[in-house]
Amino acid sequence: MKSFKAPASPPPGVALIIGAGDATGGAIARRFAREGYTTCVTRRSLDKLQPLLAQIRADGGTVHGFASDARREDEVTALVEQIESSIAPIEVLVFNIGANAPASILEETARKYFKIWEMACLGGFLNGREVARRMVQRGRGTIIFTGATASLRGSANFAAFAGAKMALRALAQSMARELGPRGLHVAHVVIDGAIDTAFIRDNFPERYALKEQQGIVNPEHIAETYWMLHQQPRDAWTHEMDLRPWCEKF
């Protein structure tokens, strides 16, 4: 009598990280690469991706870097088509572009206000739409949008950022309600606190000093949460969650 042998699981596909910077986006890319996913990472400058690409490859992962402007429809469409046709199906999309540039409403310019909305919201729509079009054909996939404190409330001097992040949150909600029944897990993660980045270190040294007390968010811990969201079974999906240090007010 022959023993039954279960069919091998298909190899992981692509985890596409839009906005794979030196902190959160890079940590997410490394986390998925460790699980065997081919990671495709983007920034507007390919040169700035080189350290991340080298690190993932040194750790034994497979990674491809792309210079792509998330605000340009033609570039987004070409990027998704290239990955799907020449690398592997996109199983995970993480949209991780921030565009945090504070300014008084009395001094804000229309040009910068629009640019922040383009980066933090329009880019999410373009990338989410293009990837979702492929995912629905397969009946599966995970799309995660990175939110911020500004996704929930508008603070003084953050009118542009809050407007864009709140719009991104609404986009995520609409996508989840439409695409969830078609097999796609759409999640929105509110990062409510300072993240361990060079920006915080250089511009907010008093806040960065809390790092020794675990008072700012570790990008590796954010990445672990994103991996958990992707792993959730369909009967217990999380749409929105928030992450904050123990000392952050809310």
| CA–CA distance, 215 with 194 (Å, rounded to integer) | 8
The pair of three-digit structure tokens given for residue 53, joined into one six-digit string: 């690409």
What pLDDT sits at residue 11? 67
**Distance between CA atoms of 246 and 84, rounded to whole angstroms?**
41
**Residue 9 reports pLDDT greater than 60:** no
Q: Are 28 and 56 in contact (CB under 8 A)?
A: no
d(CA 81, CA 97): 21
* pLDDT band with cut points at 50, 70 and 90 for residue 239: very high
8-state DSSP, 19: S
Mind listing the domains of the chain with CATH numbers?
14-241 (3.40.50.720)
Residue 115: partners with Cβ closer than 8 Å, 6 or more residues away: 99
What does pLDDT average to over the chain?
Answer: 94
55 phi and psi, to 5 degrees?
Answer: -65, -45
What is the reported pTM? 0.94
Q: Please say if the pLDDT value at position 4 is more than 50.
A: no
Q: How many CB atoms lie within 10 A of CB 86?
A: 8
